[in-house]
């Protein structure tokens, strides 16, 4: 089991052979680099049959969002003198250079950095007819200024096509003995869970869920003004068996932990083979993540029209439904649809189609100031 930033590759993941089916190895093809497993394989065949019969697009899978971000850095730095390269860029881990893609998957977590480092450029949403189907919350997510901050007057730097959330997963058999089941973040503080919880090794998530429990936003910038925050974190820490963002679900399967807080795309496939493991979105709201289509910074002004066709194809109702059913995540498009228009397997899954009130209380993790980052570091040190 690997973490959200590397993505769980399940049974529906795209294999390289599947992607190469129908490709003609034409060097003039436009390339789309996507995170493996985020698009059901059958959608590629449908797209070629309905829109791209000439096979002008080539699809290439990548195993992690970090690798994609590193490639964006490589493409942007290629040809620059070493002394002019960004000194704060991520280690490239001997990442091989490849053909520069015309479109890539990027997580919203990486979006501010990609914008501020000028690795990507805005998209022309007027050429994406189904853009209007995106709920306002998802449109606003990618409307940013040139530093990557939310801006009502900004440009659109990406198109969300897939999203998920942080969940509370738990062992139903263990809680049956207790006579209650988790409903919200506050349940993690109950004394009977001492030593039975695993949390993500992510300060924004741990401190964020504590803020939510106290009635604040994940993106609160004034942590020092919340007098009981430190004590609440210390109390929560007493119940935590370990912090981990990679192998946090295996102990839950074995029963060594009873509760795990984790990313939905890790937990959803786990439930398929472990019916004793249940999961909920906390009633007071949770943190959200999204996968986006973004455009690497180009020198060529002639952006291939078929790229816009592909983005638009992902926002159509049929494609959105298949993304929900086969990628261990949801599509933002279904949130603007009527329940009777959505397949029952999606409507009946509260993790893919959550209660509207809960979703309205949920938030994407936004950039925070350096001062707030220092406050996070200080609080984390109190737990070690």
* Residue 350, C-beta contacts closer than 8 angstroms, at least 6 positions apart: 280, 281
Q: pLDDT tens-digit profile of 131-163?
A: 999 999 999 999 999 999 999 999 999 999 999
**Residue with the two structure tokens 């690497």:** 296
Fold of 16-163+288-364: D-Maltodextrin-Binding Protein; domain 2 (3.40.190)
Closest CA to 166 of 99, 248, 100: 248
Q: pLDDT tens-digit profile of 289-307?
A: 999 999 999 866 778 899 9
Band (pLDDT 50/70/90 cuts) for residue 27 is low
* Cα–Cα dist 163/330, whole Å: 5
Pick the CATH number of 166-285+367-381 from 3.10.20.30, 3.40.190.10, 3.40.50.150, 3.90.380.10: 3.40.190.10
Q: pLDDT tens-digit profile of 57-77?
A: 999 999 999 999 999 999 988
Q: What count of residues does the chain have?
A: 384
8: tokens are 């769980």
285: tokens are 């709201």
pTM over 0.85: yes
pLDDT of 97 reads 53
Q: pLDDT tens-digit profile of 168-199?
A: 999 999 999 999 999 999 999 999 999 999 99
Higher pLDDT, 162 or 1: 162
Residue ranges covered by each domain of the chain: 16-163+288-364, 166-285+367-381
Tell me which H or E stretch contains 113: helix 111-116
The reply to whether domains 16-163+288-364 and 166-285+367-381 share a CATH topology is yes
Mean pLDDT to the nearest integer, 40-52: 95
Average pLDDT, the chain: 88
């Amino acid at each position: 089991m690997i973490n959200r930033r590397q993505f769980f590759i399940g049974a529906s993941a795209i294999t390289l052979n599947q992607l190469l089916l129908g490709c003609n190895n034409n060097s003039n093809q436009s390339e789309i680099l996507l995170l493996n497993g985020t698009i059901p394989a059958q959608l590629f065949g449908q797209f070629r049959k309905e829109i791209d019969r000439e096979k002008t697009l080539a699809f290439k899978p990548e195993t992690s969002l970090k690798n994609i971000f590193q490639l964006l850095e490589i493409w942007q730095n290629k040809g620059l003198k070493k002394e002019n390269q960004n000194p704060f860029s991520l280690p490239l881990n001997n990442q091989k250079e490849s053909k520069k893609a015309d479109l890539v998957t990027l997580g919203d977590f990486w979006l501010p950095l990609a914008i501020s480092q000028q690795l990507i450029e805005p998209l022309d949403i007027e050429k994406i007819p189904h853009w209007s189907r995106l709920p306002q919350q998802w449109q606003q997510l990618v409307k940013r200024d040139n530093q990557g901050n939310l801006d009502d007057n900004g440009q659109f730097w990406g198109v969300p096509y897939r999203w998920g959330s942080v969940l509370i997963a738990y062992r139903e058999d263990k809680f049956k003995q207790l006579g209650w089941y988790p409903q919200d973040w506050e349940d993690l503080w109950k004394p009977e869970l001492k030593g039975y919880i695993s949390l993500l090794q992510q300060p924004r998530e741990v401190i964020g869920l504590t803020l939510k429990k106290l009635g604040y936003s994940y993106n609160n910038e004034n942590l020092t003004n919340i007098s009981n925050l430190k004590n609440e974190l210390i109390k929560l820490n007493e119940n935590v068996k370990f912090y981990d963002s990679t192998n946090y679900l295996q102990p839950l399967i074995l029963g060594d932990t009873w509760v795990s807080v984790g990313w939905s795309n890790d937990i959803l496939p786990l439930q398929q083979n472990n019916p004793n493991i249940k999961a909920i979105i906390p009633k007071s709201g949770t943190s959200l993540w999204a996968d986006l289509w973004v455009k690497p910074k180009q020198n060529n002004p002639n952006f291939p029209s078929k790229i816009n066709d592909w983005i638009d194809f992902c926002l159509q109702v049929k494609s959105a439904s298949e993304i929900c059913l086969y990628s261990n995540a949801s599509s933002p498009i279904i949130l603007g649809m009527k329940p009777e228009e959505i397949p029952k397997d999606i409507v009946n899954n509260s993790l893919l189609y959550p209660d509207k009130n809960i979703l309205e209380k949920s938030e994407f993790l936004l950039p925070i100031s350096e001062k707030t980052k220092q406050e996070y570091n200080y609080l984390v040190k109190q737990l070690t």
